[in-house]
Amino acid sequence: MVIGILVLLFFPEPSLAAEVYSPEQLEMDLQGIQKQYGLDVQIIGQTEKGKNIKAIRLGKGKKSILLVGSHHGREWLSSILLMRMLEEYAAAYRAGKPVGEFPSESFDEVSIWFIPMLNPDGVSIQQGDLSNLNVLEKAAVWKMNRYSRNWSRWKANAKGIDLNRQYPAGWKEVMSHETKPTYQFNKGGQPLEAAEVKALTDFTKEIDPLIAVSYHTSGREIFWHYKNKRKNMARDYGIAKKTAEMTGYELTFPEKEAVGSGFTDWFITEFSRPGMTIELSYLVDETNPPLTVFPEEWKRNRLVGIMLVKEAKQLHNN
C-alpha cells in the first residue's frame, strides 16, 4: 500500500490522452481577452484550495444575465464554450457588428456575466494534475477516488463535495448513498458548505441577474422548471422553448418528484426568474466529452447568450 501511495503521489497517471482545457489555459486566455477588449474581470471568491474564481462582464447594461460553467470537474467543455462565446461577443460588441441576427448594441442595456469555471480545483484533479495539493491532500483525494488512478470521472471539488448538490432549494430532500467526501454525488453536510457555492450565491445576489444559466456536459437536454410558480411557467417555458429550438436539445417537462439542490433550482426559487441547466454533448458516462464534439456544440449554442440578452430586455421592459 505504501508503495502504491508513493507511485500515486509522485507519478500521477494522466487521466486523459487527448488535450484538455485546464484552469491555467483558461487564465491565459482570459488575460488575453481582458487585455484586448478591456473587460471588467472580478474575483468573486476562492476555491477550497485558494484558486481565484473569476467573473467577466461584457456590456454596459446595469441589468444582466449570468452564464456559469464547470460546476463539475469533468465538465470543462462548458468552460471552452463560454470562453469562445465571450471572445466572439466581445469582438462583435467592439466592432458594432451583430452576432447572427442579434445586434450587439443590446449589451448597452443588458450585460452578460460569464463565470467560465466555477470549480477549477475539480477540473485540475479530473485532468490528473495534483500539483496544487500537498502529500496528505493527494492521499485524501486518491481515497475519495476509491484508490483509482482514473481521474477522468472526477466531478467534485477538492474536498469531495458535489457542487451542484449544494444549493438550499431541495437540499434536504436529495437522497444519496454518498455521505462522505468522494468523487461524485456527495451533497455535503449542509447547503452552501462549499466555498465555491457560497461565492456563486453571494455574487448572484449581488448582480441580481434577470436570467441564469448553468452549463453542464452530458445529454443535450435543458432543465428549466424546478418547482416554478404557476404564474411564471408560461414565461419561463417560452424562453426555454426558444433555447431548445436554437440548440436542438430536448426540453424537459415538469416532474412532480423533481430532485433539487442545483444552482438553477435555487435561482428559480430564490429569484422567481427564468433559470436553465443546459447539458452539452451526447450522453457520456463518468468522464468528460471528447474535444471532437465541441464544434457541434458551439454551432448549437453560439447564439444562446445573446438571444437570452434579448429575452432579458423584454423581461425588464415588461
Query: Distance (Å, rounded) from C-alpha 77 to C-alpha 262?
Result: 19
Please, are residues 204 and 174 in contact by the beta-carbon 8 Å criterion? Answer: no
Query: Distance (Å, rounded) from C-alpha 125 to C-alpha 158?
Result: 8
Please, are residues 58 and 93 in contact by the beta-carbon 8 Å criterion? Answer: yes
Provide the edge-to-edge strand list for the sheet that holds 52-58: 40-46, 52-58, 110-115, 63-68, 211-216, 275-279, 221-223, 250-251
Query: Distance (Å, rounded) from C-alpha 81 to C-alpha 213?
Result: 13
Query: Catalytic positions, please?
Result: 279
CA-based angle 50:125:8, to the nearest 5?
115
Query: Distance (Å, rounded) from C-alpha 184 to C-alpha 72?
Result: 9
Within 10 angstroms of residue 87's Cβ, the number of other Cβ atoms is 17
Query: Distance (Å, rounded) from C-alpha 126 to C-alpha 6?
Result: 19
Query: Distance (Å, rounded) from C-alpha 247 to C-alpha 104?
Result: 20
